């Protein structure tokens, strides 16, 4: 007995496919938009705004990282 074969022979199984396809596409579009927004925010947070923490001393985190790498190398 093959459950996949039995499922494809059932006409009711095909009724849900368009529904699943459209919802999966919406989720993927939403996920891609969310990832783009997160990437944009991380770039701003790490590379564009100055931090007030004592380790950064008002510098951007990317500058602190570059200075560390320069001193270590």
pLDDT at position 12 is 64
pLDDT at position 9 is 64
Query: Residues 24-73: pLDDT tens digits?
Result: 778 878 888 889 898 998 898 888 887 777 778 888 888 888 999 999 97
The residue extents of the domains of the chain are: 3-72
- pLDDT over 80 at 4, yes or no: no
pLDDT at position 1 is 47
pLDDT at position 70 is 93
pLDDT at position 71 is 92
Alpha-helix residue ranges (DSSP H) falling in 1-73:
3-9, 11-43, 61-72
Q: Is 49 helix (H, G, I), strand (E, B) or coil?
A: coil
Q: What is the DSSP letter of 43?
A: H
């Amino acid at each position: 007995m093959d459950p996949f074969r039995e499922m494809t022979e059932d006409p009711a199984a095909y009724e849900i496919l368009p529904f699943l396809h459209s919802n999966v596409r919406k989720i993927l579009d939403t996920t891609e938009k969310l990832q783009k927004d997160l990437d944009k925010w991380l770039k701003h947070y790490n590379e564009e705004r100055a931090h007030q923490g004592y380790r950064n001393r008002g510098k951007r985190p990317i500058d602190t990282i570059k200075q560390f790498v320069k001193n270590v190398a």
